[in-house]
């Protein structure tokens, strides 16, 4: 049951919305090798750290970090702030999905879902002045999703929602299997899916592709956000931790790669029917999924009136469960330190979150969303993971973790894993990080650089303030 919950928390918008887009914008085949390497080097290796630590300490991230050293509190708030900021744009993608539930009832996107998404849904513009123009429909759906999240957390309906998703997740998988099978029969499908499986060896030296691969593994497996840690803390004694981690990581990546075979087949079909070059098929990259799936529903005939809405409803639930998982940790940590009632904390967190989300509902919203997404995963969380590698690999007694993991597992870890966490991974991350920062600085436009600068300042100042504020809970540092 717990393993299903863990797979459930990993499978979400990351697999259906984010992966195809990252794969598409990094050239398909050139992305796959870095992605597979990252799955092992970063994904599985780091999930193991989180499992071992969560299983051993059985408490919140802040308190785990205190147990290692008292000075680490800002690190915990830094991570929680990233998680919160991810939630602010995650809401918007779930909001787009909500719009598509309604649209799919009548296939209201018409014959050109790409233009429809950019012009009618997002009403996107390229000019910065678009930041002053709120798009009413997106605004309303973002508000609705925040309201739902608030309602669920406040009323403690998480279990109920969890049960609904447990039913809907398998349904989602079945629909995806159906869509992939159908897509493969479309004319031109092979133009698309061969892109994924034709490796471009020359791209291996492109560090931006590697950075994107790391970012995708981080988002998709919810790494570094203390999510796996929380789950592992519930695992019963005698659990096979390593086996568990490997199964979760493989199922998650298997699902997204499988899903993208469908996505790329549909793109191949679009390339054939429109005669457009493959890399110019989709105008707003952040919305790739909302272009490609409507496209396939258009070719499916009347069954699409059932499959379409069902598909978007499943995504809605997958999205809301992930959203709750993101917000829970933030609310929990705030109410734990400041002894504020859970409900009040939830209300405050949701209001602040909603206010931030408003920028994603403007006419440049999807562009800003892309900047948030890339910055928070490829830079901020990557940095957090570097810190966690150093904290658990160097400051904490690492051999204890190996023992915990190996206790009952049939797959054992040892020296190789230790070398990866202590040396290889930190060096790779540091290298990629520095290179990524430099290449971003040299290519970036004004809007993106302003947003990144603001995010950087917020990510430095706010965690320090939260750590400095005195705890009202007398046992907080025990
Ligand atoms: N991993 C989830 C996904 O792929 C995203 C997520 C992040 C979920 C954090 C929960 C917590 O969509």
Ligand 1, atom nearest to 221 Cα: 1
Q: What stretches in the chain show pLDDT beneath 50?
A: none
Beta partners for 362? 134
- pLDDT reported for residue 363: 96
Rounded to the nearest angstrom, the distance between the alpha carbon of 320 and the centre of ligand 1 is 10
Rounded to the nearest angstrom, the distance between the alpha carbon of 272 and the centre of ligand 1 is 34
Pocket test for ligand 1, best of 9, 92, 377 (most atoms within 8 A of CB): 9
Rounded to the nearest angstrom, the distance between the alpha carbon of 15 and the centre of ligand 1 is 9
Ligand 1, atom nearest to 10 Cα: 1
What contacts 226, CB < 8 A, 6 or more positions away? 50, 54, 60, 61, 79, 83, 329
Pocket test for ligand 1, best of 13, 91, 222 (most atoms within 8 A of CB): 222
Ligand 1, atom nearest to 318 Cα: 12
What contacts 12, CB < 8 A, 6 or more positions away? 318, 319, 321, 322
The pairs formed by 351-357 with CB atoms below 8 angstroms and a separation of 24 or more are 353/84, 353/87, 353/88, 353/91, 353/146, 353/327, 354/142, 354/143, 354/146, 356/85, 356/88, 357/88, 357/89, 357/91, 357/92, 357/142, 357/146
Nearest CA to ligand 1 atom 7: 222
State the angle between helix axes of 29-38 and 189-197 in degrees (0 to 180), rounded to the nearest 10. 40
Evaluate whether 131 touches 322 at the Cβ level (below 8 Å).
Answer: no
Evaluate whether 290 touches 100 at the Cβ level (below 8 Å).
Answer: yes
Pocket test for ligand 1, best of 223, 251, 322, 328 (most atoms within 8 A of CB): 322
Rounded to the nearest angstrom, the distance between the alpha carbon of 10 and the centre of ligand 1 is 5
Q: How far apart are CA 389 and CA 396, in angstroms?
A: 10
CA 371 to chain CA mean position, Å: 14
Rounded to the nearest angstrom, the distance between the alpha carbon of 222 and the centre of ligand 1 is 5
Q: How far apart are CA 166 and CA 7, in angstroms?
A: 10
Nearest CA to ligand 1 atom 4: 14
Rounded to the nearest angstrom, the distance between the alpha carbon of 86 and the centre of ligand 1 is 9
Pocket test for ligand 1, best of 5, 13, 329 (most atoms within 8 A of CB): 13
Evaluate whether 43 touches 249 at the Cβ level (below 8 Å).
Answer: yes
> Global pTM?
0.95
Q: How far apart are CA 143 and CA 154, in angstroms?
A: 16
- pLDDT reported for residue 233: 85
- pLDDT reported for residue 158: 75
The ligand 1 site (C-beta within 6 Å) comprises 9-10, 12-15, 220, 222, 225, 227, 322, 325-326
Nearest CA to ligand 1 atom 9: 222
Q: How far apart are CA 91 and CA 194, in angstroms?
A: 33
Query: Over the chain, what is the mean pLDDT?
Result: 93
The CA-atom distances, in angstroms, between 256 and each of 18, 27, 260, 282 are: 9, 16, 6, 19
Helix/strand/coil (H/E/C) assignment for every residue in the chain? CHHHHHHHHHCCHHHHHHHHHHHHHCCCHHHHHHHHHHHHHHHHHHHHHHHHHHHHHCCCHHHHHHHHCHHHHHHHHHHHHHHHHHHHHHHHHHHHHHHHHHHHCCCCCCCCHHHHHHHHHCCCCCCHHHHHCECHHHHHHHHHHHHHHHHHHHHCCHHHHHHHHHHHHHHHHHHHHHHHHHHHCCCCHHHHHHHHHCCCHHHHHCHHHHHHHHHHHHHHCCCCCCHHHHHHHHCCCCCCHHHHHHHHHHHHHHHHHHHHHHHHHHHHHHHHHHCCCHHHCCCCHHHHHHHHHHHHHHHHHHHHHHHHHHHHHHHHHHHHHHHHHHHHHHHHHHHHHHCCCHHHHHHHHHHHHHHHHHHHHECCHHHHHHHHHHHHHHHHHHHHHHHHHHHHHHHCCHHHHHHHHHCCCCCCCCHHHHHHHHHHHHHHHHHHHHHHHHHHHHHCCHHHHHHHHHHHHHHHHHHHHHHHCCCCCCCCCC
- pLDDT reported for residue 452: 96
Rounded to the nearest angstrom, the distance between the alpha carbon of 59 and the centre of ligand 1 is 20
- pLDDT reported for residue 157: 79
Rounded to the nearest angstrom, the distance between the alpha carbon of 14 and the centre of ligand 1 is 6
With CA atoms as reference, report the closest residue to 338 among 231, 142, 162, 469.
469
Rounded to the nearest angstrom, the distance between the alpha carbon of 130 and the centre of ligand 1 is 29
- pLDDT reported for residue 415: 92
Count CA atoms closer than 13 A to 349's CA, side-chain side. Answer: 31
Rounded to the nearest angstrom, the distance between the alpha carbon of 13 and the centre of ligand 1 is 7
Ligand 1, atom nearest to 15 Cα: 4
With CA atoms as reference, report the closest residue to 351 among 138, 157, 95, 149.
149
By the 10 Å C-beta count (0-12 exposed, 13-18 middle, 19+ buried), 59 is classed as: middle
Rounded to the nearest angstrom, the distance between the alpha carbon of 87 and the centre of ligand 1 is 10
Evaluate whether 14 touches 256 at the Cβ level (below 8 Å).
Answer: yes
With CA atoms as reference, report the closest residue to 197 among 268, 299, 270.
268
Nearest CA to ligand 1 atom 8: 322
């Amino acid at each position: 049951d717990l393993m299903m919950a863990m797979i459930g928390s990993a499978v979400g918008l990351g697999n259906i919305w984010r992966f195809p887009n990252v794969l598409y914008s990094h050239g398909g085949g050139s992305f796959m090798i870095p992605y597979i390497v990252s799955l092992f080097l970063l994904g599985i290796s780091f999930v193991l750290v989180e499992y071992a630590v969560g299983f051993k300490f059985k408490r919140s991230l802040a308190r785990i970090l205190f147990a290692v050293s008292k000075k680490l509190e800002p690190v915990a708030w830094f991570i929680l702030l990233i998680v919160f900021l991810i939630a602010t744009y995650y809401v918007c993608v779930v909001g787009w999905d909500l719009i598509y539930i309604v649209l799919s009832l009548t296939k209201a996107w018409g014959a050109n879902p790409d233009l429809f998404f950019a012009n009618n849904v997002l009403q996107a513009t390229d000019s910065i002045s678009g930041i002053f123009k709120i798009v009413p429909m997106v605004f309303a759906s973002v508000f609705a999703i925040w309201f739902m999240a608030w309602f669920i957390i406040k009323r403690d309906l998480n279990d109920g929602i969890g049960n609904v998703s447990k039913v809907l997740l398998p349904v989602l998988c079945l629909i995806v299997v159906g869509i992939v099978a159908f897509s493969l029969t479309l004319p031109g499908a092979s133009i698309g899916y061969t892109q994924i499986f034709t490796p471009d060896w020359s791209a291996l030296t492109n560090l931006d592709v590697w950075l994107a691969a790391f970012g995708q593994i981080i988002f998709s497996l919810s790494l570094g956000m203390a999510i796996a840690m929380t789950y592992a803390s519930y695992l019963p004694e005698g659990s096979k931790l390593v086996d568990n981690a490997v199964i979760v990581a493989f199922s998650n990546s298997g699902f997204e790669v499988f899903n993208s075979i469908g996505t790329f087949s549909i793109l191949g079909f679009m390339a054939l029917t429109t005669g457009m070059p493959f890399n110019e098929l989709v105008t707003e990259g952040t919305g790739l999924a909302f272009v490609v799936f409507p496209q396939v529903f258009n070719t499916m005939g009347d069954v699409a009136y059932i499959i379409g809405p069902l598909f978007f409803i499943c995504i809605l639930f997958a999205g809301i469960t992930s959203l709750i998982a993101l917000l829970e940790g933030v609310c929990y940590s705030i109410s734990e330190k400041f002894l504020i009632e859970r409900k009040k904390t939830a209300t405050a967190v949701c209001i602040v979150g909603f206010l931030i989300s408003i920028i994603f509902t403007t006419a440049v919203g999807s562009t800003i969303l892309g900047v948030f997404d890339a910055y928070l995963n490829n830079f901020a969380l990557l940095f957090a993971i570097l810190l966690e590698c150093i904290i658990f690999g160097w400051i904490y007694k690492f051999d204890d973790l190996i023992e915990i993991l190996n206790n009952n597992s049939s797959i054992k870890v040892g020296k190789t894993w230790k070398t990866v966490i202590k040396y290889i991974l930190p060096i790779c991350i540091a290298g990629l990080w520095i290179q990524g920062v430099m290449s971003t600085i040299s290519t970036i436009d004004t809007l993106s650089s302003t947003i990144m600068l603001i995010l950087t300042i917020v990510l430095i100042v706010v965690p320090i303030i939260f750590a400095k504020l005195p705890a009202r809970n007398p046992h907080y540092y025990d």
